Amino acid sequence: MQTNFTPERLASDPRMPASEKILRTCVHCGFCTATCPTYLLLGDELDSPRGRIYLIKDMLENGKPATEEVVKHVDRCLSCLSCMSTCPSGVHYMHLVDHARAHIEETYTRSWHDRLLRKVLAAILPYPGRFRAAMLAALPAKPLAPVLGLLPVFGPRLKAMLALAPARLPTRSAMEGPRSFPPSAGRKRRVALLSGCAQPVLDPAINEATIRLLNRHGVEVVLP
C-alpha cells in the first residue's frame, strides 16, 4: 500500500513509523476477508481487515481525530487475528489495530452510556469471581430479555448480552487458580498457561483438557 506520511507526521508519535511500515506491507489481496468473522457475518468491506486498514491509514496519515464510522468498524474487530494466519504479505495487523484503538481513545469522545458500559465490563470481565456472579445473575434475567430490551439507552445492549449468556453455568473447575501441574512421568518441558478471563467461567473444560494433554507429553503446566 502506498502511503504519504509527512516527516512531521511520522515524528509526531513514536508508534507512527511502525504503523506506516505495516501499512506499506499490505497489498490489498483480500485473502484476509475469507477468515475474518465480522466480514463473513456482515458482508461489509469496512468490517474486514482490509477495510479497517484503509480507515486506519486515512486517520493516522492525515492526523484526523477518529470519527463515529471509524470507531464503529474498529470496535467491531474481535482481535482474533485470524486474518494474520492467511495474509501472504505478513501484515502485522495486531499492532496496527492496537495503535488505531489508542488513537481513538485519545481523539474520540464516547457517549456517557458507552463509557459507563465499558467501565462496568472492565470491572467484571477480567475477574472470574465477578464474572461468574454476573452470569449467575443473568440466568433469571434471560426470560425477561424481550422486556428489558425496550428500556431506553441500555435496553438493546442488555438484550444482546443476555442472549449471549449461557442457559446454564458449568461447575467450577478444580484446576482453577495459580498453581502448577507436573506430569506424572519425568518433566521434559515447562510452560505457562494464561487462563484467560471469560473462558474459565464459560467453558473450564478447555483449559482442563489442555493441561491433561500437555502433562501426557511430559510438559509441566503453570497457571500464573
- Res. 87 pLDDT band, cuts 50 70 90: very high
Q: What is the pLDDT of residues 138-166, one digit of tens each?
A: 999 999 999 999 999 899 999 999 999 99
Q: What is the pLDDT of residues 182-209, one digit of tens each?
A: 998 889 999 999 988 888 999 999 999 9
Q: From 196, 99, 116, select the one nearest 153 (Cα to Cα).
A: 116
Written as one letter, the residue type at 62 is N
Q: How far is CA 83 from CA 46, 49, 100, 140, 194, in A?
A: 14, 7, 17, 38, 22
10, three cell numbers: 511520522
Q: What is the pLDDT of residues 17-69, one digit of tens each?
A: 999 999 999 999 999 999 999 999 999 999 999 999 999 999 999 999 999 99
- Res. 116 pLDDT band, cuts 50 70 90: very high
Which pTM does this prediction carry?
Answer: 0.80
Tell me if the domain spanning 7-107 has CATH number 3.30.450.40: no
Query: Residue ranges per domain, the chain?
Result: 7-107, 112-164, 179-223
What lies within 8 Å, CB to CB, of 46 at 6+ separation is 52, 54, 55, 69, 73
Q: What pLDDT does residue 19 have?
A: 95
108, three cell numbers: 474520540
103, three cell numbers: 488513537
Distance CA 90, CA 81 (A): 12
